[in-house]
């Protein structure tokens, strides 16, 4: 009787193993089938700038399976990466703490030696010293985009950005553990939707090749460009070029005059005529739209966006050099003080 019981248990174990192996093999087989066949598109309507888009978003789902051995391999690699991160974490923490100490020394030294300077009075006794100066900057000259004939008044920077309506791919992956066999099933969904992009979206490796942008009329008729003021005034002082370049309070509250399209320079007209389709142009706030059909957005449409950095209140901590400002080497000053040179 005991031998019969052992025989039945062994037979039951072999049956379970066979079922598990069959499930794994079935999952591997589904990998090829789903990748080639099981793609379910989903559509949704998008709205942008109060215009209904003609290109709808679509999604495609594929399913693949992973064996127990593959899961063990990935877990081993993850553990190895974790050990390496722990090893490298110690020197990183040491450098970070050292940097915090240096930053604290710099702040204490600046508070001790920095002098207050007026924007309207240039005090010669502060020449070469670290000063703190605040006030409202001004630019007497307008910044101009000559290609499209658009000006920005009293601005420190003026930027032209071109965007093209293109298809974008987004990959979403979900992994689910199998009940038997120790493997897992991975469900991958590829989302495709039209977006405004400043760069050409590389669609060579799109999973669904019919959505590739190079199959459509996607063309950049100009380049992005930033115009920087050369003479920014702060009272009776002027800002250095490096200081102007660091101003980054960009604003989109810019209004393009409606008369701009009727007076486009020849360079802009020539660029628009190079398109493979008959364009329709119109203005919306700080943007010039060049579209295939007004009222709808189609892949390949173009818009040119203008933003600017307004002349506003600023605070500067730098070395006073005549009527302008230059960088102050605070680390060198700290080192000299520690060595007893001053």
- Identify the bridge partners of residue 86 per DSSP, sorted by sequence position: none
What is the rounded average pLDDT of the residues 1-21?
41
Q: What percent of the chain has pLDDT over 70?
A: 75
Backbone φ, ψ for residue 277 (5° rounding): -130, 160
Note the pLDDT tens digit of each residue in 266-321: 999 999 998 888 899 999 999 999 999 888 898 899 999 999 999 999 999 999 99
3-class DSSP string for the chain = CHHHHHHHHHHHHHHHHHHHHHHHHHHHHHHHHHHHCCCCCEEECCEECCEEECCCEEEEEEEEEECHHHHHHHHHHHHHHHHHHHHHHHHHHHHHHHHHHHHHHHHHHHHHHCEECCCCCCCHHHCCCEEEEEEEEECCCCEEECCCCEEECCEEEEEEEEEEEEEEEEEEEEEEECCCCCCEEEEEEEEEEEEEECCCCCCCCCCCHHHCHHHCCCCCCCCCEEEECCCCEECCEECCHHHHHCCCCCECCCCCCHHHHHHCCHHHHHHHHCCCCCCEEEEECCEEEEECCCCEECCCCEEEEEEEEECCEEEEEEEEECCEEECCCHHHHHHHHHCCCC
What is the rounded average pLDDT of the residues 192-197?
91
What is the model's pLDDT at position 202? 82
> Does residue 177 surpass a pLDDT of 80?
no
Residue found under tokens 């102050």 = 328
Note the pLDDT tens digit of each residue in 84-141: 888 888 888 888 888 898 889 888 888 899 999 999 999 999 999 999 999 999 999 9
What is the model's pLDDT at position 320? 96
> Does residue 227 surpass a pLDDT of 70?
yes
Q: Between 173 and 208, whose confidence is greater?
A: 173
Note the pLDDT tens digit of each residue in 45-62: 233 333 334 456 676 666
Over its C-alpha atoms, the chain yields an Rg (Å, rounded) of 32
Q: Give the pairing type, strands 184-197 and 57-66.
A: antiparallel
Q: How far apart are CA 13 and CA 19, in angstroms?
A: 10
> Does residue 23 surpass a pLDDT of 60?
no
Q: Between 313 and 15, whose confidence is greater?
A: 313
Q: Between 248 and 71, whose confidence is greater?
A: 248
- Looking at the whole model, is its pTM more than 0.75? no
Q: Place 37 in a pLDDT band, splitting at 50, 70 and 90.
A: very low
User: Is the separation of the CB atoms in 168 and 300 below 8 Å?
Assistant: no
């Amino acid at each position: 009787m005991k031998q019969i019981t052992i025989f039945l248990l062994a037979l039951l174990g072999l049956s379970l193993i066979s079922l598990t192996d069959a499930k794994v093999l079935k999952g591997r087989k589904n990998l090829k089938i789903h990748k080639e066949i099981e793609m379910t598109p989903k559509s949704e309507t998008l709205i942008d700038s109060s215009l209904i888009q003609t290109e709808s978003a679509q999604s495609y789902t594929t399913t693949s399976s992973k064996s127990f051995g593959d899961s063990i391999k990935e877990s081993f690699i993850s553990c190895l990466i974790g050990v390496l991160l722990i090893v490298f974490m110690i020197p990183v923490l040491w450098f970070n703490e050292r940097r915090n100490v240096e930053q604290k020394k710099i702040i204490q030294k600046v508070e001790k030696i920095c002098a207050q300077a007026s924007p309207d009075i240039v005090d010669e006794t502060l020449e070469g010293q670290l000063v703190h100066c605040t006030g409202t900057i001004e630019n007497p000259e307008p910044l101009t985009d000559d290609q499209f004939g658009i000006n920005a008044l009293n601005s420190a920077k003026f930027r032209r950005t071109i965007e093209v309506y293109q298809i974008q791919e987004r990959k979403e992956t979900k992994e689910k553990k199998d009940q038997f066999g120790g493997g897992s099933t991975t469900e991958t969904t590829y989302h495709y939707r039209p977006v405004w992009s400043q760069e050409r979206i590389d669609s060579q490796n799109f999973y669904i090749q019919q959505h590739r942008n190079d199959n459509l009329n996607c063309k950049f008729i100009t380049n992005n460009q930033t115009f920087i003021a050369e003479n920014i005034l702060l009272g009776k002082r002027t800002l250095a070029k490096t200081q102007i370049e660091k101003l980054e309070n960009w604003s989109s509250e810019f209004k393009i005059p409606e008369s701009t399209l009727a007076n486009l320079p020849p360079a802009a007209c020539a660029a628009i005529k190079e398109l493979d389709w008959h364009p329709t142009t119109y203005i919306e706030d700080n943007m010039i739209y060049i579209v295939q059909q007004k009222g709808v957005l189609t892949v390949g449409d173009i818009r040119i966006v203008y933003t600017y950095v307004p002349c506003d209140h600023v605070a500067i901590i730098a070395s006073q050099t005549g009527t302008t400002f230059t960088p102050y080497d605070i680390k060198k000053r700290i080192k000299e003080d520690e060595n007893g040179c001053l």
